[in-house]
Homo-oligomer: A and B are copies of this chain.
């Protein structure tokens, strides 16, 4: 099968359907209240990279939000396999979404929760070209669910990204409640300061990204409280997310940074092994 048909199917509550049948109810709280979670997974062409880590993150977040997971990781894996079958040998982005399901008017959880889960797939190729970033004035609520988890309440990230693009930059850096660096609108931040590669702490507003977690687990980076002034001190910098992996930064505001393959390889060479 070719890439052309990729995205013609979705996985919705346990069934593979045509994308045209992919609809949710107007009263789904994922839509009305941003009450849900998502994961974006990278399909290498052969495998869903870091699938177990994505499932662990989703499971932890769903537990914190008290949204029961309607499927086991095994069942989710076989559902997603129904989508990736069309992308054999071709890389793709797979998005998995969980909502609290239909609810009556108002904020209280439904008396009987019937969560909705669905997944979509789209052609995707990771970019390794270096990018530019700028700080925006949209802050993250450090410690709040929308900062700690990858939730459907993502509008601040959307607008932060849009603001950065409007200023001529590729990506936005967001700060936490107390002005400390948090993360980019859809990626984590790494700063190399005197040979130590540091990434903002979750309690400062950083989303606990998958690549970030993998790098931390391999002791390739360390968590730290980072201030905007650290952007002027770092010798190298990068953004990380599940789709692009580690992506170098060549410019922070008006400051040009060197892009070094050696430096990147320190991180990437040990990441996928």
Q: Which residues in A have some Cβ–Cβ distance to B below 8 Å? A: 10, 12, 19, 22-36, 38, 65-66, 93, 95, 97, 99, 104-109, 118, 120, 122, 124, 137-146, 151-159, 161-162, 165, 177-178, 185-186
Contact = CB atoms under 8 A, between A and B. Distances in A.
Contact of A26 (B22, B108, B157, B177): B22
A111 to B, nearest CB: 13
Contacts of A35: 154-155, 158
Contacts of A122: 104-105
A162 B22 contact: no
A75 B106 CA distance: 26
Contacts of A29: 158
Nearest to A31: B31
Contacts of A24: 23-24, 26, 31
16 contacts: A19-B26, A23-B26, A24-B26, A27-B120, A31-B31, A31-B99, A33-B157, A66-B162, A107-B154, A108-B165, A138-B143, A139-B141, A139-B177, A145-B156, A145-B159, A146-B153
Given A138-B144, A186-B107, A32 B152 contact: yes
Given A105-B122, A177-B178, 19 more contacts: A23-B25, A24-B26, A24-B31, A33-B152, A33-B158, A34-B152, A35-B158, A66-B162, A95-B105, A107-B157, A108-B161, A108-B162, A139-B142, A140-B144, A141-B141, A141-B144, A144-B156, A146-B146, A146-B153
A236 to B, nearest CB: 25
A145 B143 CA distance: 18
Which of A29, A33, A142, A161 has the most CB atoms of chain B within a 10 A radius of its CB? A33
A95 B29 CA distance: 13
Contacts of A161: 107-108
Contacts of A34: 34, 151-155
A23 B24 CA distance: 5
Contact of A177 (B28, B146, B177): B177
Nearest to A139: B141
